Amino acid sequence: MTQMQTVTRQDFDAVMVPNYNPAAVIPVRGQGSRVWDQDNREYIDLAGGIAVSALGHCHPAMVQALQAQSERLWHLSNVMTNEPAIRLAQKLVAATFADRVYFCNSGAEANEAAFKLARRYASDHFGPEKHEIISFQQAFHGRTLFTVSVGGQPKYTEGFGPVPGGLHHALYNDLDSLREVISDRTCAVVMEPMQGEGGIVPATPEFIRGVRELCDQHNALLIFDEVQTGMGRTGHLYAYEAYGVKPDILSSAKGLGGGFPVGAMLTTEKVAASFVVGTHGSTYGGNPLACAVAEAVLEQVNTPTLLSGVQARNKQLRAGLEAIAAETGAFREVRGMGLLMGAEVAEPFAGQARAFLNAALDAGVMVLVAGLNVVRFAPALNIPEADLDLGLQRFAEGVRKVVAQASAAA
C-alpha cells in the first residue's frame, strides 16, 4: 500500500480552484460528535458538515453498511437497478407522502430534477406556456445555473448570466407578496420549510398553508426543498410533517447519506409519470454504496427515540444559546427548529457572524454561519448531551473573546 503523502493547508491554495477558503486546520479523524486535526487537537462538532452528519462521524451502522456493500457491488449505472436502491426507495415511500423516488448525488441535483419535472408535468397537462417557477428571496436551492437562479440570492448568480428565464421571487412569510406574482402561468412554487442559508428562518404555519392553497388555486405544484431540514433535522423525518401540509415534490440530500453523497427527489405517482424513460437521468444516481449507507441512516433516524431526542436537544441548545446571548449581548435572537438553530448577531456586531465562527474554532468547537449575521448550529442528531454542553461552553468562550476585543477597540 502506498504511504500517504503529508499535506498542509498551504497545499490547498497551490492546487485547488480558489472558490473556497477553508479553515487553517485540517481534520483527519472523527468519532461521534468529536473531530481531531493533524495536530491531534480535539473539536466538538456543532456544524455537522452543514447539516450532513446526521449520526455524527463513523457511526457503527453506517460503517458496517458501507463495508458490507463494498464487498458486494459498487456501481452499475442506471442501465440496471440494484437492491440497495430499491430497498431505500421502498422505505422512503413508506415513511413519507411520496409514491415514487428518483436518486441522484446531491441537493442541487435533487432540486434540478424537481424543477425539470415541474416544468415537464405542466407542459404535459397544461401546455408549454405554464412554465414559470416562483421561489423566495434569500432562498438557496443549489449551485447549478438553474438551481442558483431559482434561489433568491443575486450574489450567487453575479457574473454567470444570462440566467434561465421564467423565474420570480416573492418575500418569504408574506402571502401578499406571493399573490402578486403567482398566476396560471406558474408551474411550481418552491420553498424551504425553514430557510437555511437565508438565516435560519422557519415558515409560519399560516404562510405554508397559504402557499399550498395558492398553488392549488393556480394548478401549480408545491415543491419543498428539504435538503437541509430533512432526515430528522427538525425532530420530524421531514419538516413538512410539523406543518401538516404535503408537497407535490420534495428534495432530500445532506443528512440522507449521513456524509456519503446521495440525493433524492420524492414525488407522487401522478407527477412522476411525466418523467418517462429518457427524460432525465444520472450516471451515479442510485449508486449501491450510497443507497446502502442511506438505508442505514434512515433506519437509525426514523425512530421515535431519536426524533424525540432531537426535540430534547433543541431545548438544551436553545437554552444554552439564549444564556450566552443574555450574558454577552452578542445576539439579538435565537431561532430555528430541532437541531438546525441560528443565533442572529446584535447590532454592534452586524456583518460579523464569521468572527464568532473563527473564535469558536480557536476555542475548540466547530459552528457555521448562515449569511453575514447569523451563526448556525447543525450538530449530529444523536449528539450526547455532555458533548452539546461542552460545545456550548467552548462557544461561549469564543463569544466572550469577540465581545472583549470589540470593547477594547471601542
The percent of residues above 90 in pLDDT, for the chain, comes to 95
Please calculate the CA angle 139-144-145 and round it to the nearest 5 degrees. 85
Note the pLDDT tens digit of each residue in 347-369.
999 999 999 999 999 999 999 99
Residue 5 has pLDDT above 90, yes or no: no
d(Cα 106, Cα 89) in Å, to the nearest integer? 16
Cell of 108: 442541487
Q: What is the pLDDT at residue 409? A: 86
Q: What is the pLDDT at residue 53? A: 98
d(Cα 10, Cα 332) in Å, to the nearest integer? 37
| Non-local CB neighbours of 18 within 8 Å, separated by 6+ positions | none
Phi, psi of 331 (to 5 degrees): -130, 140
CA 118 vs. chain centroid, Å, equals: 21
Q: What is the pLDDT at residue 54? A: 98
Cell of 383: 449528539
Question: Which range is least confidently modeled, 2-11, 92-101, 247-256, 369-378?
Answer: 2-11
3-state secondary structure of 133: strand
In contact, 32 and 39? CB cutoff 8 Å: no
Cell of 308: 424525540
Averaged pLDDT for residues 165-171: 97
List residues bridging with 251 in a β-sheet.
225, 265
Q: What is the pLDDT at residue 44? A: 98
d(Cα 184, Cα 217) in Å, to the nearest integer? 9
d(Cα 55, Cα 78) in Å, to the nearest integer? 29
Averaged pLDDT for residues 96-106: 98
Give this prediction's pTM: 0.96
3 confidence band (pLDDT: 50, 70, 90)? confident
List residues bridging with 120 in a β-sheet.
none
| Domain 9-59+304-409 matches domain 73-301 at the CATH topology level | no
d(Cα 99, Cα 108) in Å, to the nearest integer? 21
Q: What is the pLDDT at residue 1? A: 56
In contact, 294 and 279? CB cutoff 8 Å: no
3-state secondary structure 349-387: HCCCHHHHHHHHHHHCEECEECCCCEEEECCCCCCCHHH
Averaged pLDDT for residues 156-184: 95
Concatenating the DSSP letter of every residue in 318-348 gives HHHHHHHHHHH--EEEEEEETTEEEEEEPGG
Q: Which of 197, 107, 109 is nearest to 153 (CA)?
A: 197
- Active centre residues (catalytic): 140, 225, 254
d(Cα 34, Cα 406) in Å, to the nearest integer? 30
- Fold assignment, 9-59+304-409: Aspartate Aminotransferase, domain 1 (3.90.1150)
Residue-range domain boundaries for the chain: 9-59+304-409, 73-301
Q: What is the β-pairing status of strands 374-377 and 201-202?
A: unpaired
Phi, psi of 264 (to 5 degrees): -150, 145
Helices (H) and strands (E) in the chain, counts: 14, 17
Of the options 3.40.640.10, 3.30.200.20, 3.30.450.20, 1.10.10.10, the CATH number for the domain spanning 73-301: 3.40.640.10
d(Cα 110, Cα 321) in Å, to the nearest integer? 33
Note the pLDDT tens digit of each residue in 40-66.
999 999 999 999 999 999 999 999 999
d(Cα 231, Cα 131) in Å, to the nearest integer? 30
Residue 2 has pLDDT above 70, yes or no: no
